[in-house]
Amino acid sequence: MHSHAIEHQTRKHVGLGRCLPAVLGTSVLPLILLAGCAAPAAEPSPRETRTVTLMTHDSFAISETALQEFEAATGAKLAVLESGDAGAALNKAILTKQAPLADVFFGVDNTFLARALEEGVFETYASPRLDSIPAEYRLDPGNRALPVDYGDVCINYDRDWFAAHSLDVPGSLEDLAEEEYRGLLVVENPFTSSPGLAFLLATVAHFGPDGFADYWGSLKSNGTVVVDGWETAYYTNFSASSGKGFQPMVVSYATSPAFEFLYADPPRDEPPTASLLGPEMCFRQIEFAGILAGTEQRDLAEKLVEFLLSRTFQEDIPLQMAMFPVNPDAVLPEAFLRFAPLPAEPAVLAPEEIAAHREEWMNVWKGVMLS
């Protein structure tokens, strides 16, 4: 490297040496920065602890004690990959099925089940625990997707509001279109919200594929409000939440009142809300798990699925994820027994039928509600 003599320092004689700091600074340094940060983790050596990865939606949660139990029993670490809402997470699993990001997927529900099976994202696994799970939840005879939990999307109502207005709560879907309930219901857009889609499916199950459009027309003319997602509906529009909105009825979950009790502030003896449990007013969601096709750790993947069906994890589900366990031996928490009664007649549709007509029904809904 040579440098120029002082008297030659006009800008016409600039040598590389002079510019070296700048060259380094502007090109090499950023790349070093990046390389240092983005270096992928080294491949684990055989002596290291193995890791089993669970791909799931953002609502997944597990207690510390259950996690420790799993890791102690298997000697493996559990990594959780949260991948958006239920639909987005499944679609990411489908997009990466050539090179799966995880060993097990949890959180595909009955509205997406047919698509997941059709795309072939799961390997078959006939768990010995399946026999003890009621048949009504085992929707995949091929045992690629195994039921883990279930819950109902129901309308929650503001108990104080109905008491203060001396109004009886609606006993059926048909009641919601009556004059005395004008403008009192907020629902979510099925295009952007999973409970919104579930409630739409409940109306399809109840009124039939040819009758539900007219029903939504009557809801619309009765002042039903549509918002994008659950958070807005519940925390802005619903009168029983802190939003103190205008609608005393919201499409939510049958377990929401139990959470309103557990997380009441200040504490209350009873939750401020309850669910409408009339015939076919609620839609039953069942969540499945499956071993991702192409996993290189089939043994650990099986152990993880077994764990998801075990009593330990099944008893974890209600308070962590606000769903009901499919394992009949699992004991429910007291708040669930008291404040989260299940509907006697939830609306049910076959996964194949949902898969075949979902878009069509959503577009019919859009034509009625958003035109």
Partner 1 sequence: MERRNAVVGRAALFGARRPAWFFRIVQWIPAVAFIGLFFYYPLAAVLRLGVEAVLQGEADALPLGSAFRVLGFTVFQAALSMLLTLAVGLPGAYLFARYDFPLKRFLRAFSIVPFILPTVVVAAGFESLLGPRGWINLALQQTGWIGRPIPFLHTLGAILLAHVFYNTSIVLRTVGAAWERLDPRLGDAARVLGAGRRQAFRRVTLPLLMPSILAAASLVFLFDFTSFGVILILGGPSFSTLEVEIYIQALQALNLPAAALLSILQILCSLTLIAVSGRLARRMEAASARVGIRAARKPASTAEWILAASILAALAALFLAPLASPAARSLLRMDAGLGERSGVRAEWTLEYYRELFYNRRGTAFFATPLEMAGNSLLAAAATAAFALAFGIPAAALLSRPTRIDRALEPLLLLPLGTSAVTLGLGMLIVFSRPPWNWIRSPAMIPVAHTLVAFPFVVRGLKPAFAGIPERLREAAAVLGASPWMVWRTVVFPIALRAVLSSAAFAFAVSLGEFGATSIIVRPDFPTMPVGIYRLLSQPGGLNYGQAMAMTTLLMLFCAAAVMFIEWEHQPAKPA
Beta carbon of residue 131, minimum distance to partner 1 (angstroms, whole number): 29
Rounded Cα distance between 272 and 256, Å, is 10
Q: Pick from 227, 308, 330, 347: which binds partner 1 (CB under 8 A)? A: 227
Which position has the token pair 């069906």?
309
Beta carbon of residue 160, minimum distance to partner 1 (angstroms, whole number): 5
Which position has the token pair 């939750």?
271
Q: List alpha helices for 254-343, DSSP H.
A: 256-262, 298-309, 311-321, 334-339
> Taking CB under 8 A as the rule, does residue 31 contact partner 1?
yes
**Who contacts 297 (Cβ-Cβ below 8 Å, separation ≥6)?**
50, 52, 103
Beta carbon of residue 126, minimum distance to partner 1 (angstroms, whole number): 28
> Taking CB under 8 A as the rule, does residue 73 contact partner 1?
no
User: Which residue lies nearer to partner 1 by CB, 5 or 344?
Assistant: 5
> Taking CB under 8 A as the rule, does residue 23 contact partner 1?
yes
Q: Are 84 and 92 in contact (CB under 8 A)?
A: yes
> Taking CB under 8 A as the rule, does residue 232 contact partner 1?
yes
> Could you tell me the two tokens for 330?
């699992």
Beta carbon of residue 128, minimum distance to partner 1 (angstroms, whole number): 26
Rounded Cα distance between 356 and 371, Å, is 24
> Taking CB under 8 A as the rule, does residue 18 contact partner 1?
yes
> Taking CB under 8 A as the rule, does residue 154 contact partner 1?
no
**Who contacts 132 (Cβ-Cβ below 8 Å, separation ≥6)?**
327, 328, 329
Residue 257: how many other CB atoms lie within 10 Å: 27
Enumerate residues 48-67 that contact partner 1 by CB under 8 A. Answer: 55, 58-59, 61-67
Quote the distance between the C-alpha of residue 296 and its chain's center: 26
Which position has the token pair 């399946």?
130
Only segment of 124-132, 134-142, 206-214, 264-272 that touches partner 1 (CB under 8 A): 264-272
> Taking CB under 8 A as the rule, does residue 266 contact partner 1?
yes
User: Which residue lies nearer to partner 1 by CB, 241 or 310?
Assistant: 241
Strand partners, 291: 104, 123
Binding mask 351-370 for partner 1 (x = CB under 8 A): --------x---------xx
> Taking CB under 8 A as the rule, does residue 81 contact partner 1?
yes
Rounded Cα distance between 361 and 359, Å, is 6
Enumerate residues 308-347 that contact partner 1 by CB under 8 A. Answer: 319-320, 322
Enumerate residues 93-122 that contact partner 1 by CB under 8 A. Answer: 94-96, 98-99, 101, 115
> Taking CB under 8 A as the rule, does residue 42 contact partner 1?
no
> Taking CB under 8 A as the rule, does residue 195 contact partner 1?
no
Beta carbon of residue 138, minimum distance to partner 1 (angstroms, whole number): 25
Q: Pick from 5, 11, 142, 296: which binds partner 1 (CB under 8 A)? A: 11
Rounded Cα distance between 249 and 187, Å, is 9
Rounded Cα distance between 156 and 271, Å, is 11
